[in-house]
Structure 1
Amino acid sequence: MTEKWRGRSNLQSFLDSTTPSMPSHKLPKSWCRDLNNLWQMVGKDSVEFFNLGDLWEQYCEWSAYGAGVPVCLQSEEMVVQYYVPYLSSVQIYTNKAPAGARDVKQNGGNNTVSWNGEQVGHLYLEFSESTSPYGRVPLLDKVLELSHSHPGLFSFKSTELSPASWMSVAWYPIYHIPTRRSVKELSVCFLTYHTLSSFFQDEVHGSITDLNFIQSGKNEFRSKEKCSRIYLPPFGLATYKLQGNLWTMPESGDQERITSLFTAADSWLKKLKVQHHDFTYFTTHFL
């Protein structure tokens, strides 16, 4: 094979292989207006959404066996590197305060935060992992654990969540097939950031940066007219042990994509005043 995996760089292969997709549903826009007045600014007759329960189902097999990422080695040999996903951090803000929910203070003020002059909702759940990767449970197991006290993790629709709702997934390599020795570049770890709100495309995407997301047909938070699924590509990215040129392809825009996605993640955390343990570790430990 003279080119990396069918013209894709290994970085692109990773992004494609780990981007979740869920069944797409639609609601008339008029049904969404009582959820949050932000929807009144959406110039569409209907609003697409996904169920959070369907999102976690995407991580079921990945949590059990790892997500397989085709990787082309420098020798032009193909291997499949498997990555296990961990829930690194998550913040869920609802458009309405859930019945019986306690007010949660974000910054010592009230149960809302200001973000670009807009009220971003009620903080329903906040979790950030700080234990060693060896002491963590896979993403689906962590979500099931959190859902015992936060059942909305499986019942919420993305239209019920404010633009500030997000999660971060830490991807750690576990094995590759066929096994090859001394391939240090396969030890790279990734940290991806994903929105959880249907409103993200219209309100947040343009306000942070022009990210040039995934360029393989999954480049926006949307489902195509002929596709009944919604893709959730990362809006932010951080890497650990990314060395050499195995994962990037010359003149592919990979380096620019890594920089812009990293900048977006950093900007996001600063806007919400979040101290993200894994992000700090990834950016202060290079080898």
Structure 2
Amino acid sequence: MNTTPHDTTLTSADGRSALRMERRLPHPPRKVWAALTDPAALGRWFPSEVTVDLTPGGAMSFRFPGAAPGDPGMTGTVTDVEEPRLFAFTWGTDHLSWTVTPDGEGSLLTLVHTFGDRPGAASFASGWHLCVGALARLLDGDPTALGRDDGGLHESYITRLGLDRGTVEPVGPDGSQGWRVRFERQLVRPAESVWAVLSAGIEPVAGLPVPEGFTTATAPAGPVTEVRAPRSRTYAGEPHSSVTWELGEGTGHGARLVLTQTGPAGWDPDAALAAWRTRIEQLAAALVDA
């Protein structure tokens, strides 16, 4: 499978994010347009079966493979239709805009996916990467079965889109009451698998030192203060800091990690930020190989 990312950018403003992906196709715009808008063609490369009233304000429905009988699936509304240039619609709370422009003897296909869950952007990017690859095969007359990502494609987009970076937040005015380091990252395996990698067979127990997998050099093993395997675990770090690992629901591709470490005013949050970034990269790599 080709894991080279397409031309892709991610921007965020006012609580919404926009993922922009481009793909050059050696086919004329009208041929690409037909593959974008004909439900029979859509069903061969889009992640769900689609019905569509191809008029502005028209209704859409999305039914995913394996859905139970009677499951209504998701719905959307066509927002823009300008044949053969622009097709845009809502999909639940998200918005998708597909633009086709001439590019020599072929076309430039541009997708802008707008959504609220910025940490989920790598899941969306890797999913669209596979879908657009299937669309390209459809246009070429080749088999269109969607490929599967073992996690490597997802992780390449984590890096490309800058989703591997944490934040440092002050506690109190200007950090007068301390600092908080925070990472939120979509992972490629379920919580149980993540927990197994972190614990390495040594289950955290309240009052005992936390297993090494949960620590860094700036947050060595202190006593566990709370544990709810395989979802959450808090321990006392040094100097006088608290570390919490939380594994929640994400995009459906795996667990969503939220990691925080809070320390006092004299603590060095930048060193902690760098140490946790390295530790989470190690975890992510181990999960791809798991």
Same-fold call, TM cutoff 0.5: no
Give the TM-score, by structure 1 length: 0.25
Q: Which has the higher helix share?
A: 1
Q: Please say which structure displays the higher CA radius of gyration.
A: 2
Q: Which has the higher strand share?
A: 2
